[in-house]
Chains A and B, each alone.
Chain A
Amino acid sequence: MSRARVAIALLAIIASLVIQTTVFGASGIEPLGVAPAFITLVVIAIGPYVETEYHLLLGFTAGILADLMGSGTLGIWAMTLTIVAYASSRLRARFNEGIVLSGVLIFSLTLLGQVVFVVIGTLFGQNLLGDDSLAAKIILPAVWNLVLAVPVLWALSELFKRREREWAT
């Protein structure tokens, strides 16, 4: 059961990487000039379906792949998404307490991810604090993730439920 869930989560992460770098990248969808942090959203959203250790490993894997597909220092996204995965694992139970709280958690965890990325990136010489649109690039992805959370949470829940039904029959 666990392996199937992890496989689905891994596929979701790979899909999120492709979507982030195409649909939400290059001349794609960037409302107000800033794209959603789609990979962060998927890392948060898989939390309730996989065990904590797997969640951390998946967060780290998503991060290292994001690092390899970007132009920054290797390991920054890996650390960032591991921290996001850890925080969302600790808050896993809260995701069952209603849609409003889930929304607040996704907004807060995305914001945490963006802030952590800026702090770690700056420590490793990425000069992110010198970015003119720093505030927008931290806050707007969290807002867009709030909007995208509805379809993403629904899609992942359907995917995992279908898989469980297949296992049951």
Chain B
Amino acid sequence: MLPTSGNRLNRATILFVSLIAVGFIIATFDVRNDGDSVANVMREGTQSIFEPLQKGVDWVTSPIIGFVDGVSNLAGLRDQNERLQGRVRELEAQVLETGALEERVRQLEAIAGVKAPQELPTVTAKIYSSGPSAFDNARFIDKGASDGIVVGQAVIDENGLVGRVDLVSAHDARIRLIIDPLVSAGVRIQSTNETGVVTGRGDGPLRLEMFRATLPVSRGDLVVTDGSRFPPGLVVGRVTEDATAEVGFVLRTEVEPAANLSQVDYVKVIIGWTALDADLQDGVIDTSVSTTTTMPPGTTLPSPTTLPSQTTLPGAGDG
């Protein structure tokens, strides 16, 4: 153990104040430049250095953690199994109804001359690390620009929307989860087709706000993406509380995310669609002017006719 001395503490106090000032300047610079290229290069560099270590530790510890998790959840799994069996029976009945509806849709599309929806290409990735604190809703995946991933792409799992890519390096990428308070997504209620915005709250349910709602929202209503920032039709979650639209007031309620964000290990990144595509469709971006957006080799922007509102995707539909 080291002794303390007044002189050393005085020098230490000066150093302390200096370091806080440096930290303050760095933070101000980062906020003002809104994640500029210098900060991103530093982040990518740091992540590249730590990536092998993180992957190694993850490889060693994940089976042990999985085993401990499995044992501790054994009792809960039995109840969950029964609940899921009941849910499977319900869904089987729904599939029969959906089959008939799909046939009708096919006939109507043939009449209207609309092309059948195509599945957008995806890349499967493993989450190998997370942000360094409980407040950080970031996850790192083992696929990057070399796999066709670019900033802004949607990330899903088998249940629905997980988040979006917000930083990419050659061989890995960072995802910001939908529960992050800085993430918002345009959504629509599937049953009424009314649109709104969901915003993360750091944990638990998302906040749903509908500014021009005319119809009430009911508990259990399915909420899907509206195609503004994420591809249309991705399942976001279900409404947890009834809410009624009142003139002059914003309709507010909560949405439980469909994806189990605390347990997700593998995700799919939708590489065939970015928010840029929605802007192109809406005419927000003038296609006659060259943009500087970097697209990976092999990524093609689908034409408006290949992106109908009911595009079928993994994690999409009435789940």
Residues of A near any B CB (own CB < 8 A): 14, 17-23, 25-30, 33-35, 37, 39, 48-53, 56-57, 60, 63-66, 68-79, 82-83, 86, 89-90, 92-93, 95-96, 117-118, 120-121, 124-128, 130-134, 137, 140-141
Interface check B201, CB cutoff 8 A:
yes
Q: Which residues of A contact B68 (CB under 8 A)?
A: 29
Verify B57–A22 contact, CB threshold 8 A.
yes
Task: Report B204-226 CB contacts with A as 1/0, cut-off 8 Å.
Answer: 11000000000000000000000
Q: Which residues of A contact B246 (CB under 8 A)?
A: none
Q: Which residues of B contact A28 (CB under 8 A)?
A: 61-62, 65, 130
Contact partner, B1, options A48, A56, A66, A130, Cβ 8 Å: A48
Max chain B CB contacts within 10 Å: which of A37, A78, A140? Answer: A78
A68 with B262, Cβ < 8 A, contacts A18-B54, A124-B31 known = no
Verify A25–B182 contact, CB threshold 8 A.
no
Verify A96–B1 contact, CB threshold 8 A.
yes
- Which residue of chain A lies nearest to B69 when distances are taken between CB atoms in the complex? A27
Q: How many residues on B have C-beta within 8 angstroms of the other chain's C-beta atoms?
A: 66
Q: Which residues of B contact A52 (CB under 8 A)?
A: 4, 8-9, 11-12
Verify B133–A79 contact, CB threshold 8 A.
no
A77 with B201, Cβ < 8 A, contacts A18-B50, A125-B31 known = no
Contact partner, A23, options B9, B25, B65, Cβ 8 Å: B65
CA distance in complex: A71, B204 (Å): 19
Interface check B129, CB cutoff 8 A:
yes
- Which residue of chain B lies nearest to A96 when distances are taken between CB atoms in the complex? B1
Verify A21–B132 contact, CB threshold 8 A.
yes
Verify A18–B57 contact, CB threshold 8 A.
yes
- Which residue of chain A lies nearest to B174 when distances are taken between CB atoms in the complex? A71
Verify A137–B135 contact, CB threshold 8 A.
yes
Closest 3 CB pairs of A and B: A131-B202, A25-B130, A75-B27
Known A-B contacts: A22-B130, A71-B138, A137-B135. Give 8 more (CB < 8 A).
Answer: A48-B1, A64-B23, A64-B26, A75-B26, A79-B24, A86-B13, A128-B202, A132-B205
Q: Which residues of B contact A20 (CB under 8 A)?
A: 132-133
A sample of 5 cross-chain residue pairs with beta-carbon separation below 8 angstroms, ordered by A number, consists of A49-B1, A72-B136, A75-B24, A86-B12, A126-B135
Verify A137–B16 contact, CB threshold 8 A.
no
Q: Which residues of A contact B205 (CB under 8 A)?
A: 132
Contact partner, B23, options A26, A57, A60, Cβ 8 Å: A60
Task: Report B155-183 CB contacts with A as 1/0, cut-off 8 Å.
Answer: 00000000000110000001010001110
Q: Which residues of B contact A120 (CB under 8 A)?
A: 27
Q: Which residues of A contact B43 (CB under 8 A)?
A: 68-69
Interface check B85, CB cutoff 8 A:
no
Q: Which residues of A contact B4 (CB under 8 A)?
A: 52, 89, 92-93
Q: Which residues of B contact A75 (CB under 8 A)?
A: 22-28, 30
Verify B130–A26 contact, CB threshold 8 A.
yes
- Which residue of chain A lies nearest to B206 when distances are taken between CB atoms in the complex? A132
Contact partner, B30, options A22, A23, A74, Cβ 8 Å: A74
CA distance in complex: A76, B27 (Å): 7
Interface check B134, CB cutoff 8 A:
yes
A141 with B134, Cβ < 8 A, contacts A124-B27, A133-B204 known = yes
Interface check B105, CB cutoff 8 A:
no
Q: Which residues of B contact A132 (CB under 8 A)?
A: 201-205
- Which residue of chain A lies nearest to B265 when distances are taken between CB atoms in the complex? A27
Verify B16–A131 contact, CB threshold 8 A.
no
CB distance from A78 to the nearest CB of B (A): 4
Contact partner, B12, options A89, A121, A133, Cβ 8 Å: A89
Verify A26–B12 contact, CB threshold 8 A.
no
A69 with B50, Cβ < 8 A, contacts A49-B2, A52-B8, A137-B134 known = yes
CB distance from B215 to the nearest CB of A (A): 27
A69 with B24, Cβ < 8 A, contacts A28-B61, A48-B2 known = no
Max chain B CB contacts within 10 Å: which of A14, A17, A70, A141? Answer: A70
- Which residue of chain A lies nearest to B264 when distances are taken between CB atoms in the complex? A27
Q: Which residues of B contact A65 (CB under 8 A)?
A: 46
Contact partner, B127, options A27, A34, A48, A125, Cβ 8 Å: A27
Verify A130–B202 contact, CB threshold 8 A.
yes
